[in-house]
């Protein structure tokens, strides 16, 4: 007898369809931005987009895999230094050298995970921080890359950088401004690629496994999920992207020092703030969070240490009163999912 009932699975929502159209329009606008935006706006956008990439990586770790790392600055720093090493030692062009940053960070992530995965919860957090400090102190001994005081990218490397010439002639810009356009486009591509990659992962079979491990590790193992392997994959992938982002950030500044490249406040502290106020465990959260963070930074730029105090107070308030962040509040009120991952079972009669 034929079964009159059949099933299908749906993840799309009406809001997500509209969001996809709006997002496509925004992406087109973002790509065309250098045609009509000034240098300072592009530089601001560079900061926003690179922080967004770091936030998406940290959110993948903490929000989906339950790996609360306080040592992501290790991967920003090693990525940046690997990029510098590629340029200074081997004469690479800085643009492809950014990818070297990703490779270096992924390689560093392997021993880091080996040790840190033996620790759980708060111990894992502290362990990653300690490892990041060890890496910072080691890199500071690297005399040919400037030791503790750091170094700059050679002038000829920045002036002959790939793509700068065509961009300069396309927009009729000087080289320095064209480098900002290039950095902006690379940051845009990295941020969009990271969001697309995270979303694709969460929608995949592996994403389901990741959520199961996050919710209940023992039960996940009991239904055949390799919890440890999921953690490895996520940790190394997040490190690689963080390393690429580090390389990109320091390509733009063209000057590096261990204290800046391995700064826990800049590359992990602010990133945690962004994810927590935006909404941990969602893709929308970090996007919202980075906008709020940047606005606060601008608003409070003149107040020195008050700035950090106020960030801290806001962070604590959000954790206490809206633990799922601003996006959590919006989602609860409206039910909107811009990046839906829920597999809904639909019964067709």
Partner 1 sequence: MPILALRKVSKSFGALTVADAISFEVPQGQALGIIGPNGAGKSTLFNLITGNIAPDSGTVVLDGTDVTRLSPMQRCRMGVGRSFQIPQPFGKLTVFENLLVAGAFGQGKTEAEVTDSAAAILEQTGLLPKANRPAGGLSLLDRKRLELARAMATNPRLLLLDEIAGGLTDAECNSLVETIRGLHAAGTTIIWIEHVLHALNAVVERLLVLHFGRVIGIGAPAEIMTSREVQEIYLGVEI
Can you give the binding site for partner 1, defined by CB under 8 A? 6-9, 205, 208-209, 211-212, 214-216, 218-227, 342-345, 347
Closer by beta carbon to partner 1, 225 or else 277: 225
* 102-105 long-range contacts, CB within 8 A, separation 24+: 102/240, 102/241, 102/243, 102/244, 102/247, 103/240, 103/243, 104/78, 104/79, 104/243, 105/75, 105/78, 105/79, 105/239, 105/240, 105/242, 105/243, 105/244, 105/246
Question: Interior CA angle at 18 toward 17 and 19, to 5°?
Answer: 90
**Residue 2 CB, nearest approach to partner 1 (Å):** 13
| Beta strand ranges found along the chain (DSSP E) | 6-10, 151-152, 255-256, 344-348
The SS3 call for residue 256 is: strand
**Smallest distance, partner 1 to C-beta of residue 10, A:** 10
Phi and psi torsions of 345, nearest 5°: -85, 120
In terms of CB distance, is 208 or 319 closer to partner 1?
A: 208
Q: State which residue, 240 or 283, has the beta carbon closest to partner 1.
A: 283
Q: In the complex with partner 1, which residue's Cβ is closer, 195 or 212?
A: 212
Q: Which residue in the block uniquely carries the two structure tokens 């003149």?
A: 302
- Nearest distance, CB of residue 145 and partner 1, angstroms: 43
Min dist. Cβ of residue 257 to partner 1 (A): 42
Identity of the residue, 86 or 281, whose beta carbon is nearer to partner 1 in the bound complex:
281
In the bound state with partner 1, the residue whose beta carbon lies nearer, of 12 and 343, is: 343
Q: How far is the CB of 120 from partner 1 (least distance, A)?
A: 17
With the C-alpha atoms ordered 160, 166, 167, 170, is the resulting torsion angle positive or negative? Answer: positive
Least distance in angstroms from the C-beta of 12 to partner 1: 14
């Amino acid at each position: 007898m034929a079964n009159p009932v059949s099933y299908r699975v749906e993840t799309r929502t009406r809001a997500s369809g509209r969001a996809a159209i709006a997002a496509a329009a925004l992406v087109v606008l973002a790509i065309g931005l250098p045609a009509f935006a000034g240098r300072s706006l592009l530089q601001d956008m560079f900061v926003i987009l690179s922080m967004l990439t770091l936030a998406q990586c940290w959110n993948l770790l903490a929000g989906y895999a339950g790996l609360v790392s306080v040592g992501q600055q290790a991967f920003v720093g090693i990525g940046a230094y690997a990029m510098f090493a590629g340029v200074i030692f081997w004469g690479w062009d800085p643009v492809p050298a950014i990818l070297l940053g990703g490779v270096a960070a992924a390689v560093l992530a392997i021993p880091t995970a080996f040790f840190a995965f033996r620790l759980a919860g708060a111990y894992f957090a502290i362990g990653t921080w300690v490892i990041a400090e060890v890496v910072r102190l080691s890199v500071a001994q690297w005399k040919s890359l400037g030791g503790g005081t750091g170094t700059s990218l050679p002038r000829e490397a920045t002036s002959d950088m790939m793509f700068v010439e065509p961009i300069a002639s396309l927009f009729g810009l000087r080289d320095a401004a064209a480098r900002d356009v290039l950095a902006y486009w690379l940051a845009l591509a990295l941020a969009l690629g990271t969001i697309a990659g995270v979303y694709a992962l969460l929608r995949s079979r592996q994403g389901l496994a990741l959520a199961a491990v996050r919710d209940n590790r023992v039960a996940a193992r009991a239904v055949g999920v390799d919890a440890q392997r999921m953690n490895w994959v996520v940790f190394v992938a997040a490190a690689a992207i963080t390393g690429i982002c580090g390389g990109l950030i320091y390509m733009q500044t063209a000057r590096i020092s261990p204290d800046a490249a391995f700064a826990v406040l800049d590359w992990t502290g602010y990133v945690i703030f962004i994810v927590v106020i935006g909404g941990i465990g969602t893709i929308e959260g970090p996007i919202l969070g980075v906008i709020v963070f940047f606005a606060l930074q601008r608003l409070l730029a003149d107040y020195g240490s008050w700035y950090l105090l106020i960030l801290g107070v806001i962070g604590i308030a959000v954790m206490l009163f809206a633990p799922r962040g601003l996006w959590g509040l919006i989602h609860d009120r409206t039910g909107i999912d811009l990046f839906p991952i829920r597999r809904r079972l639909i019964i067709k009669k």
